[in-house]
Structure 1
Amino acid sequence: MGNISIKTAEDIEGMRLAGRLGSEVLDYITPFVKAGVTTGELDRLCHEYMVNVQGTIPAPLNYCPPGYTPYPKAICTSVNDVICHGIPGDKVLKNGDSVNLDITVIKDGYHGDNSRMFLIGEPSILTRRLSEITYECMWLGISKVKPGAHLGDIGYVIQQHAEKAGYSVVREFCGHGIGKVFHEEPQVLHYGRPGTLEKLEAGMIFTIEPMINAGRREIREMGDGWTIKTKDRSLSAQWEHTVLVTETGYEVLTLSAGSPPPPAFITSPATQAVSA
C-alpha cells in the first residue's frame, strides 16, 4: 500500500465541498472563454471569483515543487499544442483554438482539482474529436474505480481507447492522490496493464486526468520551466475529475450544476452522486 492515505468521513465531506467549488469555478468562467479573450484575463476572473466570491485559495499560485520556480498564476491555461501547465498571459484565444482550463481550489485546507476543455468558435473536426475521445478516456478510467480494482485497470482502459482512435497517451504526467495535500500518493498512470499497481480501497481519493495527443506522445518543456508542449506540435487535450473510491464503486467529487454530462456509455448510478 505504501503511503496512500485513506480519508476519514470528515475528510470526505471537506473534499466534496472543495470539489464542487473547483467545478463551480469552471461553470463561472465558461461564458468568458471565447475568441478575443486573453488567457491572462481568464486567470484574473477566476482568481477574483475564487478569492472574493467563494472564499477559496487558488492552489497553483506560488505552488513550488522541488526543482521548480513558483507557479505565477491562479489557474493553468493550456492552448492547442500545450499539454499542461500553460501559464496565463497575453495569448489571445482565436476561432478554432482549444484550451484546457485546470482549476484547483483550497477550501478549509482541502483541495478540489479538475479541468475541462473549451473549444473556441468553430473548431475543426480533429479538434472536436480529440476533446471527445479524451473526455471518454477520463470517464472510462473513472468507471473502473471500485474497491479491489487496480490502478493498472484505469490506465489500461484509457490507453486502449486513446490508441484505438489513433492518438497517444502522455506518460510524464499522471493523476495523483489528493486531500489536504495537493499531490500525494498514489500516482495514477493513464496507461498500463490490468491487475497491476496498487489495489484500490474505499476512502482513497485521487484525480484521473488523461493527457491525450493527436500525434506522438513525446513532450518538450518550454523555457518558463512549466509549460509542456507536444514535441511534434500536434494538438493535445485533457479532462480531469477528482474521484472517491466508495464501498460500492466511485463518487465523482468535482461535479456541479454546469458539469458536462457523462458519456452515454457510462450508466453507473454513482456518476449521479452529486452531494447537495
Structure 2
Amino acid sequence: MAQCVTPELQAWIVQQARAGCTPESVLQAMLKAGWQESVALDAMEHALQTYLGAAEAPAAARPYLDLSASPRAIDLGDRVVTVHVSLRRPRLAVLGGLLSDDECEALIQAAEPRLKRSRTVQISTGGEELSADRTSDGMFFRRGESPLVQRIEARISRLVHWPVENAEGLQVLRYRPGTEYKPHYDYFDPCAPGTARILERGGQRVATVLIYLNEPLRGGGTTFPDVGLEVMPQRGHAVFFAYDRPEPSTQTLHGGARVLAGEKWVATKWLREREFTA
C-alpha cells in the first residue's frame, strides 16, 4: 500500500530539525513508526526544502549542492560550473568545468613524481593495505599544500557548502590500461573493527567529489551499479555524491571501470563529518 506524506508529517519533520535532532534520529523514528525508508527520505528532503529553504537545512548536517531552482550553472566566484546530471537518490550530480584544463595539467604534473601503488583501508586495523580490487597508482597532497591545491579546495568548499578543514587531502590517481577500482562504498563500515580508529581523525566520510583530470581513449567510466549509471570522464568535469549514513541504502556503490586504452587521471576529495586531522 502506498504511503501518503501529509503536511502534518512534514511539519513534524521540521519541528525535529529545529529542535536539534539529527537527520539519522528523525529517520529512525519514522522507520520505527512504520514508514518505508524511501518514503521517509523523500519526506525529509521535501519538508526541509519547503519549510526551511534548500540553502538552510542541508548545510547544518551534510555537504550539499543547492539545485533547488534547477540551475544550469553555479557561479563559484572564480569559476562557473555547469550542471549536467542531477539525481535525488543517490544524491548525485555531474558537473562541468570544475577545473580548467591548465589546473588539471598542473595537478598531473605535480602528482606524477610522487605516485605509488594505491592502497585501500585495512578494515580490521584501520591501517592500509594493497588490494587486488584497486590497481591504480596514487598520492595525496597535504591540505593547503600549494596555491593550486588551496584554490581547488576553496572552490570545492564553496560548491558543497562545507568547511575546507572538514576534508581529507586531495588525492590524485592514475589508471593505466587494464587497471580499475571494483565497486565499493567510500564510507567506513561501522561494523569493521578498525573503523573506530579511523573515525578519530574526523568522523565518517559523508560525501565525495571526483574530478576527471584527463580523458582515456576507451573505458574508465565511473559506474553506479545500483542505479545503472556510468559517467564517462571528461577533463575538468566532476561527480559529486553524498551519503547521509554509512549504509548500502544510500545507493552510493560505485567503481572505476577498467581502462581499455590510454590513461585515466582523477582527483578525489573525501569530505568528513568534522575537522580532519592528518
Q: TM-score, normalised by structure 2?
A: 0.28
If you compute each CA radius of gyration, which structure gives the higher value, 1 or 2?
2
Q: TM-score, normalised by structure 1?
A: 0.28
